[in-house]
């Protein structure tokens, strides 16, 4: 092969070699290994740094918290320091993280604040190949007595089932002891803490709540009291009216018994002729015929309205007639006639007759020469008009302006079937007490027991979001207009007639009001706290939603009492807690007079159909639980009953308890108090 041919062949090989890329993968891979190690190594070591720092911070926080708990005063004792060091060592050890040179240092200032610093070194793994040395880490931590102020509202089930037996006492007595145990823990935890304010509020609930201590004519706004203007001036109640439509002609008034008295008369005009005097003050010397002949026009009066009535003896003593035996006076007239009136609605009849004639001397001995003449005068009332027919059951508007201020509402609780009125019509029980004649009417009166009927609402099924028409679930606004005002209950004037179309009969009156009134958030001495707890009493049905809505109204930082709830008096933040206790499930009843009236008649919650009453109230309860989530901590306790999903889901995570006896209830209250009053990390 020639030289030229050799050159051509060599040139072709080089071109083929240059075009062949199958060997480049190895070269490229070899060249990329080192950068890839850097990227992966950096990610791994960076993750190790973040994880180690997180663990170091947690260990530092736990250590200062444990150390501060061990301090009984503001002095950081050796015992407290050892406690802090032990807690740090327990939570962070070099062997677990491959760290070196780990240190924890802590110190307290004059106010008792405990500050800590934790540091360590984290060796590099893959990044060590690139010359990176161990990386230092340092974190700080602090713990102090709880800085926030604390607001606690107890929403307590005081329904009738709380009177049930529990151990050697009742469920209610167990609750009272547990509530005092709660206060014991709070008092002990806050000894020496002069910076924090602790306020307690209470909402004892059953089928209603008692607002007597909340609404005042002259409210103390600093104590969270509300003016009476937040309560309605007129309340429409499911009530009844008396129907007078049956005409009754003249009949003797059965409630005004005939009134009789004896009148003595004679020749001597100086003798006494006062009403109801049986004999004169002295005897008069007259003959046997003088009584017959005596025609003096003597006057008398009965109950001051029949004055100056002049009568003669009905019958002469000898048998001959003398004068009229009856006189009549129509209502509103001053004239007496000898015949009954044929008009008007009422008249009075005066009748008189001889009773006796006696003879006696001045010394009291009977003697024919001395005689007194005696006649009997009787007053009888007759009337006519429209007789009571029956009760008609229907809504009635009642004026509550003085009632809500503490005055009694006078009313009539029963009507005699023979009672007459002058004009036919419907008379409500309060109007009946205003009639001029009360005979035949059973008088009664009622003062406000403090319980409230909720303001306007709608029978909704969906509460996400809460409908604007459901004013009863509004926790932000007070009673600024009629749709927003609460109504003082009228238990003695309210009747459950069943369906709205029923008007001539009723089913029942069933109302129970908590004896203990709601108390808004305020500071309390321990004696005041215990006295309030001791006063709790149990009765009524279970309406969880009415208890919770008032608890939220009291504690909300943006609600009705925002001016006193947003920040503490010292300018500090407020830690807010509702502690909700119940011994049963939601049990509303259609025939119970609750905060929504008689549901069977008023139909304010169901509107006459749809989901059950229990489901409707549970939906409202859930909506309230969710409405302030994150702003207010809700703790829930099921006492003597299983913890159902409705109550469990209402509470914040991990804050629902089930207590099956008095000991477990006290333990639950103590645990909650410990967490509420526990030390809080500053950083």
Least confidently predicted of 120-129, 247-256, 443-452, 492-501: 120-129
Q: pLDDT, tens digit, for every residue of 595-606?
A: 999 999 999 999
Q: What is the mean pLDDT of the chain?
A: 83
Per mean pLDDT, which of 119-128, 349-358, 404-413, 499-508 is the most reliable?
A: 404-413
Q: Is the pLDDT of residue 328 over 80?
A: yes
The residue with greater pLDDT, 279 or 464, is 464
pLDDT score, position 193: 76
pLDDT score, position 363: 53
**Which long-range contacts link 425-429 to residues 24+ away (Cβ below 8 Å)?**
425/244, 425/245, 426/241, 426/242, 426/243, 426/244, 426/392, 427/241, 427/242, 427/244, 428/239, 428/240, 428/241, 428/242, 428/396, 428/398, 429/239, 429/240, 429/241, 429/242, 429/493
pLDDT score, position 641: 92
For residues 411-425, average pLDDT: 95
The structural domains of the chain, with segments of one domain joined by +, span 25-144, 155-212+452-614+622-661+672-681, 241-250+385-446, 257-377
Model confidence band, residue 211 (pLDDT cutoffs 50, 70, 90): very high
For residues 134-144, average pLDDT: 90
pLDDT score, position 8: 47
For residues 134-157, average pLDDT: 88
Q: Which residues contact 24 (CB under 8 A, 6 or more apart)?
A: none
pLDDT score, position 214: 97
Model confidence band, residue 294 (pLDDT cutoffs 50, 70, 90): very low
Least confidently predicted of 68-72, 117-121, 404-408, 565-569: 68-72
Least confidently predicted of 4-8, 281-285, 427-431, 455-459: 281-285
Q: Is the pLDDT of residue 358 over 80?
A: no
Q: What is the DSSP string of 294-326?
A: ----EEE-STTTSTTEEE--SB-TTS-B-S-SE
Q: Is the pLDDT of residue 319 over 60?
A: no
- The answer to whether the peptide bond before residue 206 is cis (omega within 30 degrees of 0) is no
Q: pLDDT, tens digit, for every residue of 539-552?
A: 999 999 999 999 99
Q: What is the DSSP string of 419-463?
A: -EESS-EEE-HHHHTTSS--TTEEEEEE---SBEE-------S--
pLDDT score, position 266: 53
pLDDT score, position 35: 56
Q: Is the pLDDT of residue 15 over 70?
A: no
Model confidence band, residue 635 (pLDDT cutoffs 50, 70, 90): very high
Model confidence band, residue 306 (pLDDT cutoffs 50, 70, 90): very low
The residue with greater pLDDT, 348 or 408, is 408
Closest CA to 49 of 136, 139, 127: 136
Q: Is the pLDDT of residue 333 over 90?
A: no
Per the structure block, which two tokens stand in for 628?
């302030």
Per the structure block, which two tokens stand in for 576?
């807010």
CB 238 within 8 A of CB 497: yes
Q: pLDDT, tens digit, for every residue of 18-63?
A: 555 555 554 444 444 555 544 454 557 677 788 899 899 999 999 9
Model confidence band, residue 279 (pLDDT cutoffs 50, 70, 90): very low
Model confidence band, residue 671 (pLDDT cutoffs 50, 70, 90): very high
Per the structure block, which two tokens stand in for 315?
């019958």
- The share of the chain scoring above pLDDT 90, in percent, equals 61
The residue with greater pLDDT, 197 or 284, is 197
pLDDT score, position 47: 78
Q: pLDDT, tens digit, for every residue of 52-109?
A: 998 999 999 999 999 988 887 778 999 999 999 999 999 999 988 889 999 999 999 8
pLDDT score, position 88: 95
Rg (CA), the chain: 46
For residues 197-222, average pLDDT: 96
Distances in Å between the Cα of 660 and the Cα atoms of 124, 160, 167, 171, 624 are 55, 18, 11, 10, 26
pLDDT score, position 195: 77
For residues 284-305, average pLDDT: 45
Please give the helix or strand (H or E) that residue 86 lies within, else none.
helix 78-91
pLDDT score, position 276: 27
DSSP state, 134? P
Least confidently predicted of 166-180, 255-269, 620-634: 255-269
- Specify the CATH architecture of the domain 155-212+452-614+622-661+672-681: 3-Layer(aba) Sandwich (3.40)
Q: Is the pLDDT of residue 657 over 80?
A: yes
């Amino acid at each position: 092969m020639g030289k030229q041919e050799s050159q051509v062949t060599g040139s072709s090989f080089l071109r083929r070699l240059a075009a062949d890329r199958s060997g480049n993968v190895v070269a490229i891979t070899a060249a990329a290994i080192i950068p890839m190690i850097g990227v992966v190594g950096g990610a791994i070591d960076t993750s190790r740094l973040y994880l180690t720092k997180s663990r170091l911070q947690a260990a530092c926080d736990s250590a200062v918290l444990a150390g501060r708990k061990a301090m009984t005063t503001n002095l950081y004792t050796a015992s407290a320091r050892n406690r802090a060091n032990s807690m740090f060592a327990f939570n962070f050890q070099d062997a677990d993280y491959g760290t070196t040179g780990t240190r924890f240092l802590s110190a307290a200032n004059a106010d008792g604040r405990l500050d800590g610093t934790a540091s360590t070194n984290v060796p590099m793994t893959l990044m060590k190949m690139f010359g990176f040395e161990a990386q230092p880490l340092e974190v700080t931590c602090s713990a102090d007595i709880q800085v926030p102020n604390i607001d606690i509202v107890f929403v307590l089930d005081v329904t009738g089932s709380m009177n049930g037996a529990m151990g050697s006492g009742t469920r209610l007595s167990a609750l009272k002891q547990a509530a005092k145990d709660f206060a014991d823990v709070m008092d002990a935890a806050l000894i020496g803490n002069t910076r924090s304010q602790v306020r307690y509020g209470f909402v004892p609930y059953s089928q209603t709540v008692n607002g007597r201590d909340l609404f005042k004519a002259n409210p103390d706004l600093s104590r969270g009291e509300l003016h009476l203007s937040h309560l309605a001036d007129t309340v429409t109640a499911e009530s009844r009216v008396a129907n007078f439509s049956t005409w009754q002609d003249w009949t003797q008034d059965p409630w005004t018994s005939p009134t009789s008295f004896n009148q003595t008369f004679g020749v001597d005009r100086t003798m006494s002729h006062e009403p109801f005097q049986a004999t004169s003050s002295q005897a008069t010397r007259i003959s046997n015929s003088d009584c017959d002949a005596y025609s003096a026009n003597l006057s008398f009066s009965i109950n001051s309205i029949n004055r100056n009535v002049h009568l003669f003896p009905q019958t002469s003593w000898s048998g001959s007639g003398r004068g009229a035996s009856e006189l009549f006076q129509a209502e509103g007239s001053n004239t007496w006639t000898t015949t009954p009136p044929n008009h008007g609605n009422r008249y009075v009849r005066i009748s008189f007759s001889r009773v006796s004639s006696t003879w006696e001397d001045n010394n009291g001995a009977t003697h024919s020469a001395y005689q007194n003449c005696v006649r009997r005068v009787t007053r009888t009332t007759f009337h006519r008009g429209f007789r009571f027919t029956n009760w008609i059951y229907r809504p009635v508007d009642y004026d509550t302006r003085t009632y809500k201020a503490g005055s009694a509402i006078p009313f009539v609780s029963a009507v005699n079937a023979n009672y007459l009125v002058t004009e036919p019509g419907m008379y409500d029980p309060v109007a009946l007490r205003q009639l001029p004649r009360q005979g035949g009417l059973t008088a009664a009166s009622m003062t406000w027991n403090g319980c409230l009927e909720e303001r306007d609402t709608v029978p909704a099924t969906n509460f996400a979001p809460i409908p604007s028409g459901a004013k009863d679930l509004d926790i932000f606004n007070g009673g600024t207009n009629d749709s927003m005002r609460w109504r003082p209950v009228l238990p003695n004037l309210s009747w459950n007639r069943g369906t709205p179309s029923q008007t001539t009969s009723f089913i029942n009156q069933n109302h129970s009001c908590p004896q203990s009134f709601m108390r808004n958030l305020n500071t309390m001495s321990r004696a005041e706290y215990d006295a309030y707890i001791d006063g709790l009493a149990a009765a009524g049905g279970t309406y969880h939603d009415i208890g919770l809505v008032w608890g939220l109204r009291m504690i909300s930082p943006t609600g009705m009492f925002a001016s006193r709830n947003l920040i503490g008096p010292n300018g500090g933040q407020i830690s807010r807690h509702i502690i909700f206790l119940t011994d049963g499930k939601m049990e509303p009843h259609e025939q119970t007079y609750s905060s929504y009236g008689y549901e069977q008649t008023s139909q304010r919650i169901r509107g006459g159909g749809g989901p059950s009453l229990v489901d409707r109230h549970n939906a409202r309860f859930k909506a309230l639980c969710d409405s302030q989530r994150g702003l207010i901590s809700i703790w829930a306790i099921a006492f003597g009953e299983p913890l159902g999903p409705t109550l469990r889901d209402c509470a914040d995570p991990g804050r629902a308890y089930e207590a099956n006896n008095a000991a477990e209830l006290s333990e639950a209250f103590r645990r909650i108090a410990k967490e509420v009053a526990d030390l809080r990390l500053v950083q």
